[in-house]
Structure 1
Amino acid sequence: MPPAVEARPRDVRGYPVPAITPWEGGEPRFALTDHGRSADCARQRRCSVCDVPMPPGPVWRVVGATESAAIAAALASGEPYRNLAPTTEGPGHRACMLYASMVCPYLARPNARRGSSAERPDELTAHVVRGAVRGELGAVVGFGDFEYAVTETQVLFRFLDLVEYLPHDTADTHLAELRAELGRVR
C-alpha cells in the first residue's frame, strides 16, 4: 500500500477511503465521487486517491474495457491515442492507481459488477449502472498531463499524451510493478 494511502481515513472495516469519496452519516460511499473534493484535487493537482500533490509531469488513471481496447487498437496500428471525450474520473500518482486497480473490486476483475448506479446519470455517467460488468482488459494508463473543467454538477477531465499502458485482465498482474514503484518513491 502506498504510504499516503495508508495514512488516509478508514471505514469501519479498516479500508482506506480515497480522497474523492463522499462520506454520508459517518460512512464512506465508495462507488460515488464527491464534487467538492474532486474539484479541489483538480485545482490543486492532488491525487484523487491519496490527496497528496502530484508533481509536474505524468499522471495516471485506471480505465475500463472500452477505453483500454481503444488504447490497445491505437498502439497496435501505430497511431497516437487521442480521446477528447471528458471523464469524471480524476488522475493520481502511478503507485496510487496501481494500488487502486488491485483493491477496488470493480477495477480488479473482468467479471466484477458495479455495486451502485450513478446518482444523477447523464451522458458521461449513463453507463454507471448497478450490476454492470467491467469487462475484459482494464488498464492503468499514464498520460503526460490532464485538463479539467469544474461545472456546477461535475468535474470533467481530459487526458493528454499517452505515456504508459499497463493492461490487465485481473489487476493482481500489477503487483510486481506496484512493489517496484513503491521502492522508487519511498
Structure 2
Amino acid sequence: MRFDTVPMPPAVHGRPRDTRGYPVPAITPWEGDAPQFALTDYGRSAECARMRLCSVCNTVMPRGTVWRVVGAAESAAIGEALAAGRPYRNLAPTLEGPGHRACMLYASMVCPYLARPNARRGLSADQPDELTGHVVRGAVRGATGAVVGFGDYEYAVTESRVLFRFLDVVEFLPHDDADEHLAQLRAELDRLAGN
C-alpha cells in the first residue's frame, strides 16, 4: 500500500513533510532540510516524555493506555508471554516513545522499515551502543512486528538520552505486513471522529 493512500490521523496532518510527502514524527531530528527518520532527537523526545506528548503527532496523550510499534524480537517475546498467560514487561529500556493508538497504527503502515518484514534501515545510529547497535544501515526488520497498547509508561531523561519502559500489555496487534492494520486504523479514526 502506498503511504499516501493510508488514512491519516487528523493530528498528523499538520506535521512537517519530507520531500516525498511523508509526515515527519515529532521525535525525528532534522539535518538541514532533511529529516533523519532512523534517529531520535533528544530534546524532542524528552519533551514528549515529560509532557505526555505523542511521539508521532506531538499532541497530548490522555492518561491511560499508550501504544508503540515493536520489532520482531519484542513482538515474539510479548506473544510468547501472552500465550503462556504470563505478564510481559520490557525490562530493557528503549529509546522509542509512546503515542496514540491511531498514530502508531498509521506509523506502522507508512514507515517503510516498520511496515514490511524485508524492509531495510536507511541510516545507521551516529554512535552505536547497547541500545542503538541494531540501528545499522541495511539491517532487515525481520519477522512479525506489532502495534502494542500498554497500560502506561515510565521514562528517565539522562544527560545523553531519553529511556522508556512500558507497563502492562493491554492490546497486542501483531503483523507480518502492517497493511493488516488497515481495518483497525479506519475503525480507530471513525471512533475518534465520533462515527
TM-score after normalising by structure 1: 0.98
Q: Is residue 190 of structure 2 the alignment partner of residue 180 of structure 1?
A: no
Q: Which segments of structure 1 move beyond 2 Å, counting only runs of 4 or more?
A: none
Superposed displacement of residue 123, structure 1:
0.8
Instruction: Describe the SS at the equivalent of 2:170.
Output: strand
Residue 98 of structure 2 is matched in structure 1 by 91
CA distance in 2, matches of 1:25, 1:82: 38
Instruction: Describe the SS at the equivalent of 1:164.
Output: strand
Identity %: 80
Q: Is residue 30 of structure 2 the alignment partner of residue 51 of structure 1?
A: no
Candidates 4, 28, 31, aligned match of 2:38: 31
Candidates 110, 116, 120, aligned match of 1:103: 110
CA distance in 2, matches of 1:14, 1:85: 34
Superposed displacement of residue 127, structure 1:
1.3
Residue 133 of structure 1 is matched in structure 2 by 140
Instruction: Describe the SS at the equivalent of 1:39.
Output: helix
Q: Is residue 20 of structure 2 the alignment partner of residue 13 of structure 1?
A: yes
CA distance in 2, matches of 1:73, 1:50: 31
Q: Deviations over 1:62-84 (max 9, x none)?
A: 00000000001001111111221
Superposed displacement of residue 153, structure 1:
1.1
For 1:84, the aligned partner's letter is: L
Superposed displacement of residue 162, structure 1:
0.6
Superposed displacement of residue 12, structure 1:
2.0
CA distance in 2, matches of 1:131, 1:177: 30
CA distance in 2, matches of 1:126, 1:165: 26
Q: Deviations over 1:92-119 (max 9, x none)?
A: 0000000000000000000111111111
Candidates 113, 118, 124, aligned match of 2:125: 118
Structure 1, unpaired ranges of 5+: none
Candidates 57, 70, 83, aligned match of 1:76: 83
Instruction: Describe the SS at the equivalent of 1:42.
Output: helix
The answer to whether the 8 A contact 2:150-2:167 is kept is yes
Superposed displacement of residue 168, structure 1:
0.1
CA distance in 2, matches of 1:149, 1:185: 31
CA distance in 2, matches of 1:83, 1:12: 36
The answer to whether the 8 A contact 2:38-2:135 is kept is no
Across the aligned residues of Structure 1 and Structure 2, the Cα RMSD in angstroms comes to: 0.7
Superposed displacement of residue 160, structure 1:
0.3
Residue 2 of structure 1 is matched in structure 2 by 9
For 1:25, the aligned partner's letter is: G
